[in-house]
Amino acid sequence: MDQVLSRRLAAVLCADIAGYSALVGADESRAIAALKGHHTAVMEVLQRFGGRVVDLAGDGLIAEFSSTVSAVEAGLAMQAMMAERNEPIAEGQRMLFRVGINQGDVIHDDTHIYGDGINIAARLQTIAEPGQVYVSGKVHEEVRDRMKATFRDLGDKRLKNIARPVRVFEVTLGPKGKRPRAPDGVTVEARKPSVAVLPFDNMGGDSEQEYFADGVVEDIITALSRFRDFAVIARNSSFVYKGRAVDVREVSKELGVRYLLEGSVRKSGQRLRITAQLIDAATGTHLWADKFDGTLEDVFDFQDRITATVASIVEPAIRWAEIERSRRERPDSVEGYDLYLRALPLHMSQTESANAEAVALLQRAVELEPNNPTYLVYAGNAMLHRWSQGWPPIGEDDDARGIELVERALAHARDDAVVLSLGSMMLIHNLKDYDRGLELSRRAVALNPNNLTVIMFAGIVQLHLGDLDEAIAYCEHAIRLSPAVDGAYWPLTAIAHVHLIRGAYEQAIAWAKRSVSSNPSFVCTYWMLAAANAHLGRLDEARRHVATLKRLAPESTVQLIWAGQPQKETGRLAAVLDGLRLAGLDEG
């Protein structure tokens, strides 16, 4: 099949490490481990400024930006961060990046980019001084009046394999000789968390057991790499520590990670036991630990079960650790990431006042990073959620603004499974765009089948648009993987809804009561409780649940609930609405 080529104007940043071969020659293991840690931190910085890393080979990397200003800011922030990372390291062991940036045509095929945009950036990188950022005349012309920076004109330079001389400028944010600082409002610490999965200890010495332990770790690394909320260190870096007694704080520094996942494997006859624990390396605190038992006969199924369970639990554990870290260490921070972390528990609490606070925080995060798909989709989700829950609007254009934010998130989402999943919910609830919403949900599951948010909402999408048995299967899978999962009230209420549709009212009540135990403020649960009790003739009990519903969402009416829910399969909502009418909820 012929490759599809596309051309566009973009800014390209090329970077590599000065003298990397010498560092490898001096201490290969240390150099490789340090490089991986630096690469992870650098990629986080580039992504925060809207960069897309298109190549990562050896000690070099290439990133593409739609904004030239963002590319230069990212290069400066990257060098400022590296200056801090290098500060405690001995002079001869420091890794110093050289950065070149150019603006020009970039040609894309299925796997690579080409063109003058990248060629000139790569040549600028080769002549840049270690620790510095060099830009072309085109970049200088584009950004000189749009950012606070100092440009030193280095004159026209002849670059290898470039036909004409290129005007070159060195960019700094401080006086010559001083360490660069990050742009205003940007700290040099990489906010996005990172995790390394260390080789599991083989407690028995059996070589087959060793292969199994390594296979489990490799599978977990692969599964965790699908998550976008954190970065995962590659296998060839974490396996440097295989067979070594390690200090988690030292490993954390060497790899540049905040969290470590470690474990062990033990064999007894035909039985295997795997233990795993997630550690906050800064404090040594164990955030989660568990054991898994299986047999050699079902070793592959056992391995898959461990992988799925660990991957699904690690993500929310890290998220809550980051929320607590933000509360404890940065309670007054105005950075986008911290605003997002503060908004998450408010959004998940499912109360009107907390939702309003979450909306305000997420809108501030979007103002700071207008192209961040995570902030965009959560902001849009929080705004649109008010309508579906029967809460009064915050502003006159809540719905239009929320839809705009979700569409922008999807435009920048690429392969972010959570953004696609949350976006699909808004498409089917608020735009009634059923085909697109169902397709996005399927894509999200394919991209990350171990993400609990994705699995939960896939179940709800199936509830509204697809197969009811599949809806229950997704929801039960999410609950089974992690009974204490964030937002467990979603799949519990969805299962109650399926039973209500099928006329199994006692089962609907049983599942809805479990949902109330998970979150007594989730409005939709009371729809199920009121409707199911009304269908069973228990009108006093049904009215009691309607009273709770009206307390949580005073604007609730049958018509408002109908308007805020998907209407493709009208019979699926009819059981709820008819029951609410019997229970005495106003028609509206």
Joined together, the tokens standing for residue 145 give: 């009046």
- pLDDT tens per residue, range 425-453: 989 988 889 999 999 999 999 999 888 88
In a domain, 542, yes or no: yes
- Answer yes or no: is 165 within a domain: yes
Residues 255 and 154 in one domain: no
Residue 383 belongs to some domain of the structure: no
Which residues pair with residue 157 across a beta bridge?
Answer: 166
Alpha carbon separation from 34 to 93, 96, 201, 528 (Å, rounded):
10, 12, 23, 54
Under the banding of pLDDT at 50, 70 and 90, the label for residue 183 is: very low
pLDDT of 110 higher than 50: no
* One domain for residues 304 and 256: yes
Please tell me the least confidently modeled range out of 1-10, 184-193, 305-314: 184-193
Q: Are residues 12 and 133 in the same domain?
A: yes
- Res 13 pLDDT > 70: yes
Query: Which two structure tokens, joined as six digits, stand for 531?
Result: 């409707």
Which residue do the tokens 């003058």 mark? 116
The radius of gyration of the chain from alpha carbons, rounded to an integer in Å, stands at: 27
Do 74 and 153 belong to one domain?
yes
* Mean pLDDT computed over 528-549: 96
Q: Where does the pLDDT of residue 486 fall: very low under 50, low under 70, confident under 90, or very high at 90 and above? A: low
Q: Which residue has the higher pLDDT, 268 or 263?
A: 263
pLDDT above 70 (res 20): yes
Residue 70 has pLDDT above 50, yes or no: yes
How many other CB atoms are there within 10 angstroms of residue 554's CB atom? Answer: 11
Average pLDDT of the chain is: 85
Answer yes or no: do 141 and 72 share one domain.
Answer: yes
Which CATH number fits the domain that encloses residue 115? 3.30.70.1230
Same domain, 155 and 273: no
Q: Which of 185-194, 314-323, 518-527 is the least confident region?
A: 185-194
Work out how many domains the chain is built from and give that number: 3
Q: Mean pLDDT throughout 115-139?
A: 89
Is the pLDDT at 494 greater than 90? The verdict is yes
Same domain (yes/no): 163, 256? no
Output the pLDDT for position 109: 56
Neighbours of 475 (CB within 10 A): 29
Identify the CATH number of the domain in which residue 222 sits.
Answer: 3.40.50.10610
CA 5 to chain CA centroid, Å, is 29
State which residues form the domain around 302: 194-312
* 160 or 378, higher pLDDT: 378
**Residues 148, 256: one domain?**
no
* Structure confidence at residue 1 (pLDDT): 40
pLDDT at 147 over 90: no
| Residue 5 binned pLDDT confidence (cut-offs 50, 70, 90) | low
So what's the pLDDT on residue 64? 86
Predicted TM-score (pTM) above 0.75: no
Cβ distance 465 to 438 under 8 Å?
yes
pLDDT digits (tens, 9 = 90+) for 375-431: 999 999 999 888 777 788 887 777 888 899 999 999 988 789 999 999 999 899 888
Dist. CA 172–CA 167, nearest whole Å: 17
Residue 456 exposed, middle or buried by CB count within 10 Å (0-12, 13-18, 19+): buried
Residue 241 in this model has a pLDDT that exceeds 90: no
For residue 164, pLDDT beyond 70: yes
- pLDDT in the model for residue 173: 65
What is the model's pLDDT at position 439? 94
CA pair distance 270, 250, nearest whole angstrom:
36
Whether 13 and 147 share a structural domain: yes
Is residue 144 located within the same domain as residue 215? Answer: no
Residue 69: pLDDT above 80? Answer: yes
Question: Residue 63's Cα: distance from chain center in Å?
Answer: 19
Lowest-confidence pick of 116-125, 356-365, 415-424: 116-125
CA 557 to chain centre: 36
The verdict on 99 and 211 lying in the same domain is no
